[in-house]
Amino acid sequence: GFYRNIILNNPRKRNALSLSMLQSLREDLLHDVKGKDLRVIIISAEGPVFCSGHDLKELSSEDDVKHHSQVFEICAEVMTLIQKLPVPVIAKVNGLATAAGCQLVASCDIAVASEKSQFATPGVNIGLFCSTPGVALGRSLPRKVALEMLFTGEPLSAQEALMHGLVSKVVPEDKLEEETMKISHKICESSKSVLALGKATFYRQMTQDLDAAYKMTTQVMVDNLTLRDGQEGIEAFIQKRKPVWSH
């Protein structure tokens, strides 16, 4: 009950982020997210493509500007929502992640990929520059690496993605589930309230300059000590026992 597995399950359409897929993803991410038991969300996919990005049929000239705006707005909402959730979100990638699919990986807190996985933002090749994926890429990768991906559309291998920081770990395909659950189990050993505070603080300080970041996080450390689990963890350490979290 500690894990939520969200599986993109439309392999026939390469798990494209259609409007309905994005709406479902948002609903699944938000479902009982503040419940005491939920500690980790894992996003994976069926088929050889993790996610191919937007459904281009929805972006044709046959649909109006209002519909196009709706698609991109809900996509941005989902991507930012992932970092606002109080629990860690892990992308479990086994295959190709392109455009908004690559954006989804970059937006997750942790990403574990199989050796066969690849990552690309090829929109430039079809006349639709990956501007919104570039927001997540530019915050995950060195600028020149992100721009090469955006300008050329050429993919990164799993090892290249690891080297540049797009993913956390690369493992053989048959070890992907094991490694993802190993990370999840470790997260579940900690207090949910402490993790929620830490995650929110991390993303907040990333937008600040050095002095402001230290000023804000100094106060958060003080606030952390006022949490029931903050005191429980310190007392358990001093008493050389396992903490009993209230979450």
- 170 and 204 share a domain? no
- What pLDDT does residue 36 have? 84
100 and 210 belong to one structural domain: no
Residues 161 and 234 in one domain: no
Q: Is residue 175 part of a domain?
A: yes
pLDDT of residue 164: 98
Decide: residue 58, CB within 10 A, 0-12 exposed, 13-18 middle, 19+ buried.
middle
Whether 178 and 218 share a structural domain: no
Q: Which domain, by its residues, includes 232? A: 190-239
Give residue 64's pLDDT.
84
Give the N- to C-terminal CA distance of the chain in Å, as an integer. 14
**DSSP symbols for 5-51:** EEEE--GGGTT---HHHHHHHHHHHHTTTTSSS--EEEEEESSSEEE
CATH number at residue 224: 1.10.12.10
Q: Mean pLDDT, 10 residues at a time, over the chain (247 residues)?
A: 92 96 97 91 97 92 82 97 97 98 98 98 96 97 98 98 98 98 96 96 97 98 96 96 94
Give the total number of structural domains in the chain. Answer: 2
Instruction: Annotate 92-108 with three-state secondary structure.
Output: EECCEEECHHHHHHHHC
Number of Cβ within 10 Å of residue 101's Cβ equals 29
Q: Which of 104, 93, 107 is nearest to 170 (CA)?
A: 93
For position 225, what pLDDT does the model report? Answer: 96
Supply 246's token pair. Answer: 């209230």
The answer to whether residue 246 sits within a structural domain is no
Residue 171 covered by a domain: yes
Same domain, 99 and 201: no
Nearest one of 247, 217, 221 to 232, comparing CA atoms = 247
Rg of the chain (C-alpha set): 19
**Within this chain, do residues 214 and 156 fall inside the same structural domain, yes or no?**
no
Same domain for 164 and 235?
no
Same domain, 167 and 204: no
Looking up residue 142, the CATH number of its domain turns out to be 3.90.226.10
Q: Are strands 40-45 and 89-93 parallel, antiparallel or unpaired?
A: parallel
For the chain, give percent helix, strand, coil, nearest 5. Answer: 55, 15, 30
Are residues 158 and 135 both part of a single domain? Answer: yes
Determine the residue type at 79.
M
